[in-house]
Amino acid sequence: LLELTWRGTRPLSLPGGETRRFLEDGDEIVLRGRCAREGWVPVGFGECRGRILG
């Protein structure tokens, strides 16, 4: 989010119509990672979730 908003200087429009510059209390963060290459077995770490608390 920090990169997408240029360090908070440009708001990001969300699908619900709101705009954000930074994460807010109560926001849920979901990180997923996976790497794949033809001829190799894909590797992933699944999902990591967390909620911003204030």
Q: What is the pLDDT of residue 38?
A: 97
> Looking at the domain assignment, is residue 2 inside a domain?
no
User: Which string of DSSP letters, residue by residue, matches 1-54?
Assistant: -TTTTTTTTS-EE-TTS-EESS--TT-EEEEEEEE--TTS--EEEEEEEEE---
pTM comes to 0.69
When pLDDT is averaged across residues 25-46 and rounded to a whole number, the result is: 96
Boundaries of domain holding 25: 12-51
> Across the chain, what does the average pLDDT equal?
95
When pLDDT is averaged across residues 7-12 and rounded to a whole number, the result is: 96
Q: How many domains does one find in the chain?
A: 1
Compute the distance between CA of residue 32 and CA of residue 29 in angstroms, rounded to an integer: 10
Q: What is the pLDDT of residue 52?
A: 97
> Looking at the domain assignment, is residue 34 inside a domain?
yes
> Looking at the domain assignment, is residue 42 inside a domain?
yes
